[in-house]
Each structure stands twice: as C-alpha cells, then as structure tokens.
Amino acid sequence: MQQFVNEIEILTRLRHTNLVTLYGCTSRRSRELILVYEYIPNGTLADHLHGDRVKDGSLTWLVRMNIAIETAGALAYLHASDVIHCDVKTNNILLDHNFNVKVADFGISRLFPNDVTHISTAPRGTPGYIDPKYHECYQLTSKSDVYSFGVVLVELISSMPAVDMTRHSQEINLANFAINKIVKCAFNELIDPSLGFDSDTKILEMTTSVAELAFLCLQTDRDMRPTMVEVLDTLKEIQISEFDNEKRADTNLSGNEAKIVTALPFPKSEDKFMLKQVKSLSSPNSVTDKWVTCSDITTTK
C-alpha cells in the first residue's frame, strides 16, 4: 500500500517526456491496487542489452548515447523537482518503438527537500546498483541516483548485467569490474566489441569518454561524483564533439541543447596513478546479502 500511494503522489507531481505517464488508478479501498500507465511497447533497456530482446545491431552506439542522454535528462528533472528515484536500473528504463526512454517505477522514490543534506533511511533498491555509502551508513542523497546511473552507463558500453555470479568474486558487481578495467585502461576488456570501437575511432573515443564519466559517477566519495545536471551536460558534449553539424542535426538536438555547459574534466592517462588510489566499497552482491550498518562492516585489504 505504501509504495502504491507513494508512486501516485510522486507521478502526479511530475511531467517530463522521458518519464512514464500515469493515466489512472484504483482507490485505496479497492480489492486490488492497480495503476494504469501509458503502454510502452519495446520492453526494457535490460531486455535489449542482455535479455530476451538482444538482437545484433539493434542497439547501435548512437542509439545507446541517446538513451543515456534521455535517461540523464529525466533524472536531472527529478532532482530539480526534489525527488530521488532510489531504484535507477536498466529494468526501470522502458523503451518505445523508436528507442525513446521512459523512466518508470517510483514505488520507493523519496521526496528530498532542498534544505537537507541527506535522508536517513534503511537502504532499498536493487543489488548491484545501490550506492555503497547509502548501503554502509543509511544516508540517501541525490548522489545515490548518480551512482546507480553510473552502473547503467557501464551496462550501455559493455552490454553486461549489473550482477553476474559467474564473474570473479571481486567483480561480481559490474561497478567493481568496470572500475578495475578503467583504472588499468583496459577499455578493450570492458567495451562491447559489437559496438565497433576497434574499427571506428569516433566510437572508441566516445565509449572511452563515457567509461570515464561512469568512473566519476561510481566514486565512493559522494563529493567526487558529479550531479545529474553535470552528467547530462557531459554526455551531450561527448555526443556533439564527435560529429559534424549534419550528423548532429540527425540526433534531434535543439540549438539550445547544443550549447555545452562546462563539462567535468575526464581523468587523463597521466592521472592513472590517482585512479589506482580509489578504493571502492562493494554494493551487495545478491539479494540474500543482509543490510548492515557502518559498525557491522569489516574492511579487508
């Protein structure tokens, strides 16, 4: 019931082209609690990346960049509206026939007044996407969504799931796997080869830049993570910088959107030694992991 009411209250406040539209609902006194949404026919982003809708060539790099930008725009809008999504993941990013984004599932979203630094609450969300600081100390902020979106960015460039029990124990979480590869500059071991990065210099530059942006989003220190507005601006800069005016017009970016705000500096190769000093905390590896407090955590080297 709480999630039912919460989703209604939040969605009735919001209007954005990349957020799913709520058409109606049953009353709280009904036998069944039903929410009626617009129909989004093309499944989830997860379906197309590593699920039952995977098709060779259907998610080109340009399509993935547009998905990243539209999702970032929706999250930036939420944060500007004092809402934290709390469950950003590829299963909650719906796609229409043209692969336009509709962010869904606001059942555990939280209102976040702009006069507070964080909300103290027991961690909720999906293992593999949960901000390790939120998991560790029960403090939710908008930067928790940024961390989760960082995982989504890694999924977009790698086509790998957020959690994979067949990977090495320290890399079951995609976030840890990606950080290890980025620190070593082993982008060829992270980026999906089907995207053509090995034969197209522009795609190589763009996917590498997105990987570096994801690295910033996945920082353990929240203060080092960008805001969603900064993430959005950086993604637009990556997209525009690699294409001429004719190709830029094909991406349907408006003139105003093409005016790039100062973007975040990406880690350069000479800064590699600094990246190696970043030690990530693991988000829960599976749904069987219990939630723990700071005092319960044992740090291992």
> So where are the chain's domains?
42-296
Percent of the chain with pLDDT over 90: 55
CB neighbours of residue 82 within 10 Å: 15
* Per-residue pLDDT, 200: 93
Give the pLDDT band (50/70/90) at residue 4.
Answer: low
Give the helix, strand, coil percentages of the chain, each rounded to 5: 45, 10, 50
User: What amino acid is encoded at 240 in this protein?
Assistant: I
What pLDDT shows up at residue 24?
A: 66
Kindly indicate the confidence band of residue 282, based on its pLDDT and cuts at 50, 70 and 90: very low
Bigger pLDDT: 180 vs 266? 180
Tell me, what's the pLDDT at 21? 85
Q: Higher-confidence residue: 178 or 2? A: 178
Burial class (CB in 10 A: 0-12, 13-18, 19+), 52: exposed
Q: Which CATH number fits domain 42-296: 3.60.15.10, 1.20.1250.20, 1.10.10.60, 1.10.510.10?
A: 1.10.510.10
- Quote the tokens at residue 69: 């930008």
- Cβ–Cβ < 8 Å for 10, 87: no
CB 209 within 8 A of CB 264: no
Q: What is the mean pLDDT of residues 272-283?
A: 44
> What pLDDT is stored for residue 128 in this prediction?
96
Q: Hey, is 19 helix, strand or coil?
A: strand
> The dihedral of CA 105, 94, 205, 244: what is its sign?
negative
Whole-number pLDDT of residue 7? 61
- Higher pLDDT residue, 7 or 122? 122
Q: What are phi and psi of 189, to 5 degrees?
A: -90, -5
Confidence grade of residue 3 (pLDDT, cut at 50, 70, 90): low
Contact assessment for residue 147 and residue 225, using Cβ atoms and an 8 Å cutoff: yes
Residue 51 reports pLDDT greater than 60: yes
pLDDT of residue 278: 44
User: What pLDDT does residue 212 have?
Assistant: 98
Exposed / middle / buried, residue 178 (Cβ in 10 Å: 0-12, 13-18, 19+): buried
Q: How far apart are CA 93 and CA 207, in angstroms?
A: 20
Q: What is the pLDDT of residue 119?
A: 75
Instruction: Locate 284 and state its tokens.
Output: 């829960």
**Residue numbers annotated as active site:** 87
pLDDT band at 115 (very low <50, low <70, confident <90, very high): low
SS3 264: coil
Task: Note the pLDDT tens digit of each residue in 201-232.
Answer: 999 999 999 999 999 999 999 999 999 999 99
Q: What is the mean pLDDT of the chain?
A: 81
Q: What is the pLDDT of residues 94-109, one digit of tens each?
A: 999 999 999 999 888 8
